[in-house]
C-alpha cells in the first residue's frame, strides 16, 4: 500500500517540481540565447603606433522601421532585419575618420569587429549574419583621404560588393589624397 502525505503521493510532487524546474530552466536558456544588438567601443593600439578608437552600435528596429529585404542589406537572407546599425565612429590618433552613414546602414546582425593594420593602412573588419546571410565587411582606410569597402561571404573567396569612396574635401589640405586609396 502506498503512503500518502497530506492526501498526496510523494512522487507526484517530485515530478511536478521537476517539470516546473525544467520549464524555468528552458525559459532562462531561451532568454539568454535571444539575439542582442551588437555594440563595441574600443581603442586599439596598432603596430605602427597609431591609436584607433571605434564605436559601433546596433539597435533594435523601431516599429515599422525595418522592412522585408531580399537584397541590399547585409546580415540577413530575406526576411526582416532585427537590428539597424545606429553608430559607426572611427578616430585615428584622436582625429575623426568620417564614414558616411550610407556605407554602414546596410550592415546588420553584426557579431564581431576587429581592427588591424596592413602596409600602414587601418583595416576595420565586421562579421555578421549567419548561414546564407553571413558576411564580412572590410574597410581599408586610406589615410584621411577615403576608404575602400569590400563585402564578401564569411570566408572571402569571392567579393560580392566593392566600393571606393574618396574624401574630396581632404584634397585641399592633403596633396597625397589626389592619388586616392593606395
Alpha helices in 37-161 (DSSP H): none
Cβ atoms within 10 Å, residue 129: 22
> Distance between CA atoms of 178 and 182, rounded to whole angstroms?
10
* Contact status, residue 161 vs residue 130, Cβ threshold 8 Å: no
Each residue of 24-53: pLDDT tens digit? 554 444 444 467 889 999 999 999 999 999
Report the percentage of the chain scoring pLDDT > 70: 70
- Which grid coordinates belong to 176? 597625397
Nearest residue to 138 via CA among 154, 170, 47: 154
Hey, is 141 helix, strand or coil?
strand
Q: pLDDT by residue (tens digit) across 127-182? A: 988 777 788 999 998 766 788 899 988 777 788 888 887 766 555 556 556 544 54
- pTM here is 0.72
Strand 110-118 and strand 95-97: the pairing is unpaired
How far apart are alpha carbons 140 and 149 in whole angstroms? Answer: 6
Residue 57, C-alpha cell as written in the block:
552600435
pLDDT at 33: 47
Amino acid at each position: 500500500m502506498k503512503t500518502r502525505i497530506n492526501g498526496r503521493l510523494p512522487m507526484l510532487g517530485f515530478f511536478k517540481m521537476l517539470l516546473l524546474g525544467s520549464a524555468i530552466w528552458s525559459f532562462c536558456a531561451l532568454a539568454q540565447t535571444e539575439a542582442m544588438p551588437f555594440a563595441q567601443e574600443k581603442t586599439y593600439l596598432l603596430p605602427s603606433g597609431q591609436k584607433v578608437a571605434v564605436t559601433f552600435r546596433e539597435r533594435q528596429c523601431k516599429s515599422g522601421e525595418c522592412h522585408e529585404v531580399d537584397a541590399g542589406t547585409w546580415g540577413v537572407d530575406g526576411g526582416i532585419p532585427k537590428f539597424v546599425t545606429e553608430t559607426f565612429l572611427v578616430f585615428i590618433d584622436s582625429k575623426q575618420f568620417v564614414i558616411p552613414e550610407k556605407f554602414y546602414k546596410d550592415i546588420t546582425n553584426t557579431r564581431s569587429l576587429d581592427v588591424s593594420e596592413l602596409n600602414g593602412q587601418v583595416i576595420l573588419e565586421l562579421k555578421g549574419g549567419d548561414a546564407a546571410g553571413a558576411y564580412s565587411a572590410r574597410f581599408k582606410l586610406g589615410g584621411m583621404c577615403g576608404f575602400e569597402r569590400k563585402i564578401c561571404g564569411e570566408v572571402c573567396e569571392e567579393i560580392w560588393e566593392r566600393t571606393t569612396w574618396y574624401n574630396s574635401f581632404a584634397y585641399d589640405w592633403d596633396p597625397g589624397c589626389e592619388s586616392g586609396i593606395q
